[in-house]
């Protein structure tokens, strides 16, 4: 059976990135609403979050719950546990053109510990992600230090992941992937209303990096379609670098503006850049509204082609549309409602709803569902929506 690990990678990655961004923004909102005076390093607040996420677009649906609980103890420590689920149903263009619809489920468990010593925070996180044909174990460590009367914060992080790639229907197929991630964040308070962050990230991947199910197509005049398929072949190493510069400006009426530029490149020849603008506006004592705009564009990988001229045309072969040249634009809307709680042991809570509409347009990936001369089919594009709904309780 052919399946699209694009779902495991790109789509899930988009959802997790959206969720990660949103929780960072929720912390930022607390700062905006409470005070514009920055303070020394502190441990995260005691809170519990229950999240539902959903992605739907291009014949793919990914949804599921996530539960996060964080608790401080012994004054200097904070522990967080998280359970995250992806339930995937796919009839994407990759699947319907080479196989049939499928469903699967991924479960992820993680435990993290933060230790605060004056202006230094040490963090350790361990996670396991499991599905029927993919297993991943990750360990990450980070250290954050405040300098110059807490006006400057430097954070350095490292994570390592050991993954096992399997293939349904082939018991003896088992390949390994080792991943390492290095990150440096420098945050500087420019004024009481303005702060900037420079983030640099490097990732090295080594092992079986392609999809054991996905195929590429090549010109074949001996068949009626005019083309045939063969399995894709990737290099077994990749190094990528991303640099992001972001800024946040606190407005006098408790609102805030944010902007980010991010540049990405890797040794496979992919280069991309994104721009994001955001605006956060509180309304009354309880509501917070948010709008974001994001644009992303990239070029194709060195070994990508929508249609190869013949079988085994080169050493490495790819037809994953996420390695092609494409642009993506999205708009996001969100609303949060915060309220006090009279229940014993709880201080306050919030209800949050966010929706992102995303549009993808591919420059050299064609829709082979339209039967035309190979290489002249219409270019593929898709629209997708991401919903994130979660409740939070502080205790």
* Cα–Cα distance for residue pair 88/60, rounded to 1 Å: 7
Q: How confident is the model at residue 295 (pLDDT cuts 50, 70, 90)?
A: very high
Phi, psi of 20, deg, nearest 5: -60, -45
For residue 25, is pLDDT > 90? no
- pLDDT tens, residue by residue, 214-235: 999 999 999 999 999 999 999 9
Q: How confident is the model at residue 40 (pLDDT cuts 50, 70, 90)?
A: low
Average pLDDT over residues 13-29: 47
393 with 47: CB under 8 angstroms?
yes
Q: Which residue has the tokens 């677009």?
A: 57
Q: Burial, 250: exposed, middle or buried (Cβ in 10 Å; 0-12, 13-18, 19+)?
A: buried
Q: How far is CA 392 from the centre of its chain?
A: 21
Partnered with residue 218 across adjacent β-strands are: 228, 308
Domains of the chain and any CATH numbers: 7-44+76-84+104-333+354-363 (2.40.160)
8 with 380: CB under 8 angstroms?
no
7 with 62: CB under 8 angstroms?
yes
What does the pLDDT read at residue 346?
86
69 with 80: CB under 8 angstroms?
yes
Q: Which residue has the tokens 């400057």?
A: 152
* DSSP string over 119-157: TEEEEEEEEEEEETTEEEEEEEEEEEEEETTTTEEEEEE
What is the three-class DSSP state of 232?
A: coil
- pTM for the model stands at 0.87
């Amino acid at each position: 059976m052919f399946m699209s690990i694009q779902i495991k990678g790109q789509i899930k990655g988009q959802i997790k990135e959206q969720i990660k961004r949103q929780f960072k923004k929720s912390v930022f909102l607390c700062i905006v609403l409470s005070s514009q005076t920055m303070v020394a390093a502190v441990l995260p607040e005691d809170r519990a979050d229950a999240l539902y996420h959903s992605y739907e677009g291009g014949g793919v649906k990914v949804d599921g719950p996530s539960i996060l609980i964080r608790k401080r103890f012994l004054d200097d420590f904070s522990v967080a546990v998280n359970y995250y689920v992806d339930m995937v149903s796919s009839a994407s263009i990759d699947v319907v053109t080479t196989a049939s619809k499928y469903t699967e489920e991924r479960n992820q468990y993680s435990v993290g510990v933060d230790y605060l010593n004056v202006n230094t925070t040490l963090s350790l996180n361990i996670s396991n992600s499991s599905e029927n044909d993919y297993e991943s174990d990750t360990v990450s460590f980070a250290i954050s230090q405040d300098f110059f009367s807490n006006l400057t914060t430097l954070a350095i992080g490292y994570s390592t992941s050991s993954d096992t790639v399997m293939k349904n229907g082939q018991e003896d197929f088992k390949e390994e992937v080792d991943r390492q991630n290095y990150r440096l964040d420098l945050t500087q308070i420019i004024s009481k209303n303005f702060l900037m962050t420079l983030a640099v990230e490097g990732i090295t991947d080594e092992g079986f990096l392609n999809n054991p199910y996905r195929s590429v197509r090549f010109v074949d005049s001996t068949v009626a379609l005019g083309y045939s398929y063969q399995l894709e072949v990737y290099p077994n190493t990749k190094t990528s670098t991303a640099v992001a510069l972001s800024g946040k400006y606190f407005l006098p009426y408790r609102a805030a503006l944010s902007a980010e530029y991010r540049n990405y490149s890797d040794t496979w020849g992919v280069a991309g850049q994104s721009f994001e603008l955001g605006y956060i506006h509180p309304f009354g004592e309880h509501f917070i509204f948010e709008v974001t705009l994001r644009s992303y564009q990239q070029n194709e990988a060195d070994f990508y082609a929508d249609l190869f001229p013949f079988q085994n045309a080169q050493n490495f072969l790819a037809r994953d549309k996420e390695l092609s040249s494409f642009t993506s634009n999205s708009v996001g809307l969100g609303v949060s409602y915060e309220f006090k709680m009279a229940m014993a042991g709880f201080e306050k809570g919030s209800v949050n709803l966010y929706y992102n509409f995303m549009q993808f347009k591919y420059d050299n990936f064609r829709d082979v569902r339209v039967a035309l001369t190979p290489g002249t089919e219409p270019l593929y594009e898709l629209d997708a929506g991401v919903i994130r709904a979660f409740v939070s309780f502080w205790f």
